[in-house]
Amino acid sequence: MEHHNETSTDFILLGLFPPSSLGLFLFTLTVPIFLMALAGNLSMVLLILLDAQLHTPMYFLLSQLSLMDLIYICTTVPKMASGFLFGNKSISFIGCGLQTFFFGTLAGSEALILMSMAYDRYVAICFPLHYPIRMSRRVCVLMILGSWAMGVVNSSAHTVYALHIPYCRSRTINHFFCDIPAMLTLACVDTWVYEYTVFVSAFFFLLFPFLVILGSYMKVLLAVYRMHSREGRKKAYSTCSAHLTVVTFFYVPFVFTYLRPKSFRSPAEDKVVAVFYTVLTPVLNPVIYSLRNKEVLGALGRVAVKFCSTTM
């Protein structure tokens, strides 16, 4: 086992991959996935910004999802990669706090954005005549600002607590980023009260939105089933299935991790599950929403033609 200097206030992140040939192989798979996530989400943000036909509530919400995923994956993967490649696994006390804050903010905000996107599809399919009123630009902006604000407030509270509890001599976190549950195992005090607040917070930011999304899509699928237009049903099913795929990859691993009792959790299992919502979800979202969406593909063609005409 590696020995680290634990007398400083820095934390030590053990990382995701073992220092072996298998770890190197897994790491080489992570690098292209990371680059794909960066390129895909940045492309979605720019495409929605540049193409006027995508200036609708659904795509404004999608642009926020892509922006969150873009920052999200940059919060955890670069530090993990640096620790694996250069062996510098230490992270400063402030750096750990910042990583915790951004991770918590983006996770909470993304959960609420996904719920807003489900509501958008629910109104569009079940109440199409009321859509311009229920999903006006003002309502869309309030949804976006509310998601960011609630994510910041929730994350700030958890980060402040995590930075103020006393830690024992060992500051080795068995994870690849500063995840608060992993940090709590190093605390010198009983944290059962805070663990209960984490459970409550996870319920309101994860389980409750997840149940709202499932309820919305049950009504959506029922309305789609009653449609007379085969083309309309096909388009609605395609949109719903794409969103439900994203929701499953995001919510299920989070719920599995944060709503389980402490006695049922293991560091190795938590790290593997965390890969789903820190690495796989950010790379899958732009793929699902672009390759299966004719409007996005059409916008990509229009922006490409406009770009080529201006450079010639």
Residue-wise pLDDT for 38-63, tens only, equals 999 998 999 899 888 888 998 999 99
pTM attached to this predicted model: 0.88
Q: What is the mean pLDDT of residues 270-299?
A: 82
Residue 9 reports pLDDT greater than 80: no
| Highest mean pLDDT of the ranges 67-76, 160-169, 251-260 | 67-76
| Model pLDDT, residue 2 | 44
For 35, other C-beta atoms within 10 Å of its C-beta total 11
The contacts of residue 164 (CB under 8 Å, 6+ apart) are none
Lowest mean pLDDT among 146-155, 182-191, 229-238: 229-238
Percent of the chain at pLDDT > 70 equals 93
Stretch 269-297: mean pLDDT: 82
Kind plus residue range of the DSSP H or E element containing 86: helix 57-86
Confidence of residue 7 (pLDDT cuts 50, 70, 90): very low
Per-chain mean pLDDT for the chain: 85
**Residue 149 to residue 128: CA distance in whole angstroms:** 29
Does the pLDDT at position 169 exceed 80? no
| Cα separation values, 173 from 125, 179, 181, Å | 46, 9, 10
Rounded to 5 degrees, what are φ and ψ at 229? -80, 120
Q: Which two tokens stand for residue 212?
A: 């709202």
Under DSSP, is residue 311 helix (H, G, I), strand (E, B) or coil?
helix
- What confidence category does residue 5 fall into, taking pLDDT thresholds of 50, 70 and 90? very low
pLDDT tier at 291 (50, 70, 90 boundaries)?
Answer: low
Determine which of 100-104, 170-174, 191-195 has the lowest per-residue pLDDT on average.
191-195
Check pLDDT > 70 for residue 232: no
